[in-house]
Amino acid sequence: LYIDSQDTQHLVYVAPSNVFGVDNGALVRTAILGVPNFHELLEVESNAVRICKTTHSDSKCVASCVFISLLVSL
């Protein structure tokens, strides 16, 4: 049995309140990714996406992680 992480998020957030919300605790982990390899923006973006998706696969979460990591790298 395989459950997609999107399905898991939906079950966790919809079950208690019938309202789907997305937190973004991944920002805490990905902000620092703008420091190593700060001169290679594609590498910073790739690392932010990879690390964020380990726990937060929602596209809004991934986009915000990439944004913050790139902002730190600049």
Q: What is the pLDDT of residue 59?
A: 86
Do 68 and 43 form a contact (C-beta atoms < 8 A)?
Answer: no
Classified as helix, coil or strand, 19 is: coil
Helix, strand, coil shares, percent, the chain, to 5: 65, 0, 35
Would you write out the chain's pLDDT as a tens digit for each of its 74 residues?
444 555 555 555 444 545 555 677 788 888 888 898 889 999 999 999 999 888 888 888 889 999 999 999 99
Q: What does the domain layout of the chain look like in residue ranges? A: 22-73
pTM higher than 0.85, yes or no? no
- Specify the DSSP element, H or E, that contains 44: helix 41-52
Neighbours of 68 (CB within 10 A): 21
Cα distances from 67 to residues 19, 41, 63, in angstroms, run: 26, 11, 6
